[in-house]
Structure 1
Amino acid sequence: MTSDSRPHPIALPDTRARRVVENLLKGSGVRLNGDAPQDLKVYHPDLFSRVLHQGTLGLGEAYMDGWWEADSIDEFTYLVLRHGLGERAHTPSERLMYRLQSGFFNLQSKARAYIVGEAHYDMGNDLFERMLDPTMSYSCGYWKKASNLYEAQQAKLELACRKLKLEPGMHVLDIGCGWGSFAEHAARHHGAKVTGITISKEQAELARERCHGLPVEIRLTDYRELEGQFDRIVSIGMFEHVGQRNYDTYFRTVDRLLPDGGLFLLHTIGSNTSRVSADPWINRYIFPNGVLPSIRQISQASEDYLVMEDWQNFGADYDLTLMAWLHNLDATWYQIAHNYNERTHRMFRYYLSVCAGAFRARNLQLWQVAFSKGKSGRYDAPR
């Protein structure tokens, strides 16, 4: 929906809920029914009470329902997070419910591993093919020298290969291979043999098509079911689905599958804190049962198994990546609109925008961590 085709915002209701929201936004740079791109245009009188009662879940669902709009949701998110409203936007019941669930249940158990694949990654390859670049990389690009999304994703894939010190003939395990972006790159440009695993049927099908004729095998399986040995292991954008109760199992599995002298590269979104939590809107609509690791959680879980050789943070690049995906989505939505409803379009727009704003505010990070197993000598990490 363009700004010209939107309805006019309603007159703001004179309610306590509206006054509370206005007071929270005071000094943030965001106004209600203002003209700036970050300003929130109100289309429903119950928006304020919904947000105060339901927190970020209510805010996201209200956007999906058309109750509010902003020309730049990413900038709106950036400003309110920089204003300190991130934690205050979560209700106590939200935090308590997730902590109770994650405390008593393994939300990312082997039996539940395929939930996120069915809910998100299997949504439709036609959607992701238009939103992503030709490499089909669904993770942060590396924009150090890139001028567009494709260059950034190619640079990310090549950076990962260089950090793994790939040589022709090496057998690489790709944990969470997605649509085969890394597998194709490593096989085609470095002569590697790649085994990729995913919990998404749609991803597996397309990855096999894209890697046809290359020494690549794509398996629909969980990482805990793997056997054998691999010269190198890589995991790009999958660790966010592992869960804190499984971190030790994850690194123990990598240790078991990696020979002495082998290298492992972990590419993951990271949290600034070690609190076990998840945004309720993201958890319900985008990545069910996902949880972001902290530096401490990664280091503690890996220290009994591997040597940490290098840690690189290029979280600011995820802002650029997400905004490029949003541009692609909006530019091509008309091609697939007949397969989806407008609520799904708004769901994806909101997801990409708020995540871009969170990375812009540095509330979220993106880490590439290189590990070795029993490696002797010097490890020099490329940049």
Structure 2
Amino acid sequence: MNTSTEQHTAFFDESSTSHRFVADLLEQADIHINGNRPWDIRFNAHGVIDNALARGNLGLGESYVNGEWEAEYLDEFFLRLLRARLPERIKPTQLMFHSLRTRLLNRQNARRAWEVGEKHYDLGNDFYAAMLDSRMTYTCGYWQQADTLEEAQQAKLDLICRKLELKPGMRVLDIGCGWGSFMAYAAEHYGVECVGLTISREQAEYGKSLMNSHLPVEFRLQDYRDETEQFDRIVSVGMFEHVGHKNYRQYMDVANRCLKDDGLFLLHTIGKNIRSTASDPWVDKYIFPNGELPAMGHITDAAEGLFVCEDVHNFGADYDKTLMAWHRNFEAAWPRFEAQYGERFYRMWRYYLLSCAGAFRARNLQLWQFVFSKEGVLGGYRRVS
């Protein structure tokens, strides 16, 4: 046994009941403790297993950020972990409060809604510009006929425009507009006017460059609940994950109020397979505060009586490719940001991107695009792909 292997092995106690329990579980997922394959877990400190058993992914993620364990291919580690359904076999008692809090409290009310903008989206436009495509599109690309991130994001934007059946002169509301990639693309290629809502000051500041250009786009720094105008079309790409189950119906009420009777509304959102599961505690604490993924039933329940669902499209597997492309860009750009953000941020961001890629690859997470109308499209809606 070489010195490196001896060092990692020293942090695994084979005589411990909890350690043996976890080792047996990991073997079922084809993950070896202190193994040599790139998806195997290797320990750098004591307490990783006990922390994970007590606090689930919150403990596992914090241990990783602290440098207490390694897996070269984190995405493959999580793919195997999730496909073997191991998280379902562990019930961390210390996370009961988190689960109750996410179910009982409205953590996405108008006051709390701004927290994710300040903590996540306001990290810095330069940082996101280095990680994302040239349009700064921070949502899943459409890889059906794409070979690069740039192509996949343009294909996604065009897909949305075609699903909405955009025509020159239409006014479009973008709920959660990000850095305006959809608005800029739709205005330039389909001749529409766009109004975008964001709760990120950095995004709104970036949007001034688009507002001062020849494109008919407007950024509004406001909560979606405060919008009252009516539009020909509404789009919401990657924002519904911040709405929360206690606000789903209100969100749909706002969309219904702001959409003209003959309009179309496209909702693009990450989703989960099981309604009753709580939000991931590590992601909630370190990446997207107050975030919550909907199940499909949440969306259809909230839309009932307000919209006719014309189309549903799932291309969740494409988020795996998108996240891996973002990770490659992040790694390549990291030397420029290392002094500003530091090693803990690097490990946190790597854990975020690669664990999410593994979850989409395992098909634990989905990506849905819904197309809604208010009264039903006469003659039927024409499916676009």
Matched, 1:55 2:31: no
**Partner SS state of residue 294, structure 2:** coil
Deviations along 1:174-198, whole A, 9 cap, x unmatched?
Answer: 0000011101111111111000010
Name the aligned partner's letter for residue 8 of structure 2.
P
Q: Is the 8 A contact 1:13 1:45 kept in 2?
A: no
Hey, what's the Cα distance between the residues in 1 that align with 2:207 and 2:359? 30
For residue 8 of structure 1, report the CA deviation from its aligned partner: 5.8
Do residues 135 (structure 1) and 135 (structure 2) align? Answer: yes
Kindly report structure 1 stretches of 4+ aligned residues shifted beyond 4 Å: 5-8
Contact residue 210 and residue 217 of structure 2 kept, 8 A: no
Alignment of 1:170 onto 2:174: no
Alignment of 1:223-262 (within 5 A): 223-262=224-263
Q: Contact conserved, 2:272 with 2:364, CA < 8 A, in 1?
A: yes
CA deviations 1:119-147 (Å, max 9, x no partner) are: 11111222211111111111100000000
Q: TM-score, normalised by structure 1?
A: 0.95
C-alpha distance after superposition, 1:249-290 (max 9, x if no partner) = 000111000111100000000110111511100010011111
Change (3 A) 1:188 1:326: same
CA distance in 1, matches of 2:245, 2:62: 27
Partner residue, 1:311: 312
Long gaps (5+) in structure 2:
none
Aligned residue for 2:17? 16
Letter in structure 2 aligned against 1:224: R
Q: Describe the SS at the equivalent of 1:259.
A: strand
Query: Shift in Å at residue 41 of structure 1?
Result: 1.2
SS in 2 for 1:232: strand
For 1:156 and 1:7, locate their aligned partners in 2 and report how far apart those are by CA, in whole Å.
Answer: 49
* Deviating more after overlay: 174-183 vs 203-212: 203-212
Given that 2:265 and 2:373 are in contact with CA atoms closer than 8 Å, whether structure 1 keeps it comes out as yes
Structure 1 match to 2:378 = 376
Q: What are the equivalent positions in structure 2 for 1:264-303 lying under 5 Å apart?
A: 264-303=265-304
Aligned to 1:334: 335
* Cα pair distance change 1:300/1:16, threshold 3 Å: same
- Larger deviation: 332-341 or 58-67? 332-341
CA distance in 2, matches of 1:290, 1:239: 9
Is the counterpart of residue 322 in structure 1 residue 323 in structure 2? Answer: yes
8 Å CA contact 2:54, 2:93 repeated in 1 = no
Looking at structure 2, the residues matched to 310 and 90 of structure 1 have their Cα atoms a distance apart, in angstroms, of 37
What percentage of aligned pairs have identical amino acids? 51
Comparing 369-378 with 357-366, greater Cα deviation is found at: 369-378
AA partner of residue 18 (structure 1): H
Question: How far is the alpha carbon of 1:84 from its aligned partner?
Answer: 1.1
Q: Deviations over 1:217-271 (max 9, x none)?
A: 0011000000111000000000000000001100011100011110000000011
Letter in 2 for 1:27: Q
2:144 matches 1:179: no
If the length of structure 2 is used for normalisation, what is the TM-score?
0.95
Q: Which amino acid aligns with 2:316?
A: G
Deviations, residues 309-332 of structure 1 (Å, cap 9, x unaligned): 000000000000000001100011
Q: 1:8 to 1:195 in 2, by over 3 A?
A: farther
Q: What is the identity, as a one-letter code, of the residue corresponding to 1:267?
A: H
Q: Could you say if the C-alpha distance between residues 346 and 90 of structure 1 is closer, same or farther in structure 2, counting changes exceeding 3 Å?
A: farther
3-state SS of 1:264 partner? strand
Secondary structure (helix, strand or coil) at the match of 2:111 reads helix
CA distance in 1, matches of 2:88, 2:277: 13
Q: Which residue of 2 aligns with 1:362?
A: 363
**CA distances 1:324-369 after superposition (whole Å, capped 9, x unpaired):** 0011000110011121111001101000000000000000000000
Deviation for aligned residue 1:102: 3.2
Contact 1:184–1:216, Cα closer than 8 Å, also in 2: yes
Counterparts of 1:142-157 in structure 2, within 5 Å, are 142-157=142-157
Task: Name the CA distance, whole Å, in 2 between partners of 1:342 and 1:363.
Answer: 29
Contact kept in structure 1, 2:323 and 2:356, CA below 8 Å: yes
Q: Give the unaligned 5+ runs of structure 1.
A: none
Find the aligned partners of 1:115 and 1:320 in 2 and give their Cα distance.
Answer: 28
Matches within 5 A, 1:64-143: 64-94=65-95, 96-143=96-143
d(CA) in 1 for partners of 2:61, 2:76: 15
Equivalent position amino acid for 1:23 in 2: D
Structure 1 residue 10 displacement after superposition: 4.4
Cα distance in 1, alignment partners of residues 6 and 219 from structure 2: 48
How has the CA–CA distance of structure 1 residues 183 and 7 changed in structure 2, closer, same or farther, with 3 Å as cutoff? farther
Q: Distance in 2 between matches of 1:172 and 1:277?
A: 33
